[in-house]
Structure 1
């Protein structure tokens, strides 16, 4: 990873007026000198941070008492860090882990055949251009025939490896939304909100504006006035309609045009929430290969686990999730000595600079926690302060 440094430059604007007493000028000068010294000291502290992870660790530490971050990491079931573990935050694409579990379970039970071939147009009906950071197109570019048939397993891999939202909603259609949400109950996830279709949620603003005959400047308030159940139901209704009559490209373009930053914030805030505790429970279960059969884990590994060149790691998987305000990560790993690591990181209400830092340093944080005992101890001490 390239080294990443941030310098904090502080400009002090001193307002000087005519003063009749010399000691007032001296006091003001002394105060300015103190502020400059403090700024330089803070700048030096930033320069001393680990260039790979330091800025992000500072963010976590500074926000540990807020509702903007939840962090839970364990090594062999012993905690490295526990911050806001019962705080429910938007999952973004981390929610796709539940759909992957449902996929592997139905494959094991024979309810779906992972090798079944599907026409690409069935998947593409859920695709909204310019709303997924290029994930869907990136997945299709790896296929031999981008517009040909694909297997259910390839669709699931596209959901997990590339985070295609269109693939996700197609799998919800095939697996059944009720079955997906029943899996949350089966896993005994006490703080997990219901899952609802992702691409359909992108169309909620257009639907609300048309159904209520309101202007675009009234849209944000109208969306926030909806309770969670009503909001989710609109997405479900649209999702069911599309299975019979998908939206045209023009309708999708009109919906996408409404997604300014204020509407994206509503969308991000309304994504399915859960806690770090919920997802740590899931990742620890998967890491230990508990609860389900070997056949289940063979299929899950086919769509979820990562291929690594590092021979010291024998099995690992991770799923990230992000919006313009959120960056999340859920990870498990087992090394050659049988040590097991799990990490859940959820964030919310990030500004642009915080999002950039998180995006650049979260993977280094994960890798160092997996591979470096000294770093695990350092994180443990730092976040315990």
Structure 2
């Protein structure tokens, strides 16, 4: 009896083992089938992506819960998408919108004359070669025989249309840094950092290196140890010094030579920050032509507007901003029926491939949001998931 029971027990164990192995095999097959289905679904999704905007929209969706992106788009004041709207991120050249507003305001008040001629040498004292993607030279190439002297309005157009940093700092000199920052307060932008000169910040590493007698490998840590106020103050001090004694080309080259990628990352991280909500407020105000006079908007349109082939768009303006780690876009547009779009896109900590995708597709994203109702609905649905 015991022998028979033992044999039966062994047989049951073997049977259970066989069933277990069979179940494991089935589970493994099911898991493989699920993974293959997910891979096929992901492949189908990617193949079905809009070739003009799909990769960038996927990036936005995948990073909606991160601190690398803020996105706010509205159509007739109704949200299309809202994402991290109170996250303060580096503005890069989007900050130039504030300077354009200050320029138009001072022109309206008679504090500056937009037609006043200025020697190009006065502008070029703020120019650092090979630091702006060719923006300053591209602007100068449009001036033809006028390159010896330019008007203040032309300088402002070069700041907005070509994003010349040298033009920006020259206008900060003429308008006044305090007045520019007072404009931030006047616009009630509660999450906006103080603005400081852009080209002067290029020379901060050289100043910190020399004044602290540092080795090159100590520079990044020393820059990061500076608090924001101290960092900005160095830029302001350099800016004021240059107004009396501009840097030589050799001194500029020495400053630029320090800008390896780690130092550029510090520079990018320390740029003036603000939120998508701040700039959506600005772009909505400008789009509706609120808060300021007709004379203000006439001058603003002269320096900050797009000439579009699409006759259905009544007026539009946009300002981008980028570094080796950032790509931003601020847009407003109104069509002939009075429909309005405002869009703010801020990014940070992009790697090279992400930056390439953003650079290739951000303009198509902007254009399709302005022109295509179906696309606006797709974006609303995609980013609501």
Aligned to 1:155: 155
Match in the other structure for 1:90: 90
The CA distance in 2 between the partners of 1:370 and 1:211, in whole Å, is 50
Q: TM-score, normalised by structure 2?
A: 0.91
How many Å separate the matches in 2 of 1:297 and 1:54? 35
Match of 1:180 in 2: 180
Offset of residue 146 of structure 1 = 6.0
- Summarize the Cα distance change of 1:81–1:27 in structure 2 as closer, same or farther, 3 Å threshold: closer
In the TM superposition, residue 48 of structure 1 has moved relative to its aligned partner by 1.3
Deviations, residues 296-348 of structure 1 (Å, cap 9, x unaligned):
00000000011111110010000000000000000000100011110000000
The Cα offsets for residues 42-81 of structure 1, whole Å up to 9 and x where unpaired, read as 2332111111111111111111111011000011111111
Indicate if the aligned counterparts of 1:121 and 1:147 stay in contact, CA closer than 8 A: no
SS at match of 2:85: coil
TM-score (norm 1): 0.91
After superposition, the Cα gap between the structure-2 partners of 1:356 and 1:146, relative to the gap in structure 1 and judged at 3 Å, is: farther
Aligned to 2:345, what secondary structure does the other structure show? strand
Q: 1:269-303, CA deviations, whole angstroms, 9 ceiling, x for partnerless residues?
A: 00000000000000000000000000000000000
Which aligned pairs between 1:264-283 and structure 2 lie closer than 5 A? 264-283=264-283
Query: Matched residues in 2 for 1:37 and 1:136: separation?
Result: 52
Q: What pairs with 1:73-84 in structure 2 (closer than 5 Å)?
A: 73-84=73-84
1:59 match: 59
Distance change >3 Å, CA 260–CA 26, structure 1 → 2: farther
2:370 aligned residue: 370
| Number of residue pairs aligned between Structure 1 and Structure 2 | 365
Deviation at 1:377, TM superposition (A): 1.0
- 1:301 aligns with 301
**Structure 2, unpaired ranges of 5+:** 1-20
Structure 2 CA distance for aligned equivalents of residues 373 and 264 of structure 1: 40
Distance of 1:334 and 1:36 partners within structure 2 = 46
Q: Distance in 2 between matches of 1:26 and 1:76?
A: 55
CA separation in 2, counterparts of 1:309 and 1:41?
Answer: 39
**In 2: Cα distance, 1:254 partner to 1:33 partner:** 60
CA distance in 2, matches of 1:258, 1:294: 46
CA shift, 1:32, in A, is 6.9
Q: Deviations over 1:85-131 (max 9, x none)?
A: 00000000000000000000000000000000000000000000000
Match of 1:196 in 2: 196
User: Aligned residue for 1:342?
Assistant: 342
Greater helix fraction, Structure 1 or Structure 2: 2
Residues 154-163 or 305-314, more deviating: 305-314
State the Cα distance separating 1:35 from its structure 2 match: 5.2
Q: What secondary structure is seen at the aligned counterpart in 2 of 1:118? A: strand
Aligned-pair Cα RMSD in Å: 1.8
Q: Give ranges in structure 1 of 5+ residues lacking alignment.
A: 1-20
Where do 1:82-121 residues align within 5 Å?
82-121=82-121
Q: Which residue of 1 aligns with 2:47?
A: 47
Whole-angstrom distance in 2 between the partners of 1:383 and 1:64: 8
Q: Distance between the aligned counterparts of 1:234 and 1:145, measured in 2? A: 37
Task: Tell me the residue number matched to 1:134.
Answer: 134
Structure 1 Cα separation of the partners of residues 297 and 98 of structure 2: 14
Cα deviations by residue, 1:236-293 (Å, 9 ceiling, x for unpaired): 0000000000111111111111111101100000000000000000000000000000
Partner SS state of residue 363, structure 2? helix
